[in-house]
Amino acid sequence: MRRVTAHKWRPRLATIVVAILIMVMALPLVGLFFFRLYENQLIRQTEAELIAQGAALGAIYAQEVRDAGVAIEKLGAAVPADSATDPDSRYRPIEP
């Protein structure tokens, strides 16, 4: 009597090798995509921290100048408010 057993499908060795090679090739591409997104997030976080630090330092400096009692004439000419938002300026920070 012959035993009747269900034959399991087993992939050929070439199929396994090709699948592994495809995964090994895809890994660096996925890594590049992931680290590109991560780098963008780090840049945005760093920019936000630098803007906050600049605002804090500006406020501290302004307070120290006011507390020092220096005459306004000795500080220099006042900067018009319009020049702070010059659209033709080379540097325009984008608030996060």
Domain count, the chain: 1
Query: 33 lies in which domain range?
Result: 13-69
Domain-located, residue 28: yes
Do 95 and 51 meet the contact criterion of CB atoms below 8 Å apart? yes
- Chain segment 12-25, per-residue pLDDT in tens: 999 999 999 999 99
Q: Is residue 5 part of a domain?
A: no
- Cα(36)–Cα(30) distance, integer angstroms: 10
Evaluate whether residue 52 is within a structural domain: yes
| Residue 23 included in any domain | yes
Please check whether residue 47 is in contact with residue 96, taking contact to mean a CB–CB distance below 8 angstroms: yes
- The chain-wide mean pLDDT, for the chain, equals 85
Contact yes or no for 50/96 (Cβ under 8 A): no
Answer yes or no: is pLDDT of 62 > 90: no
Statement: the pTM of the whole predicted model exceeds 0.85: no
Residue 4 lies in a domain: no
* Domain-embedded: residue 91: no
Q: Does some domain include residue 55?
A: yes
Rounded Cα distance between 35 and 91, Å, is: 27
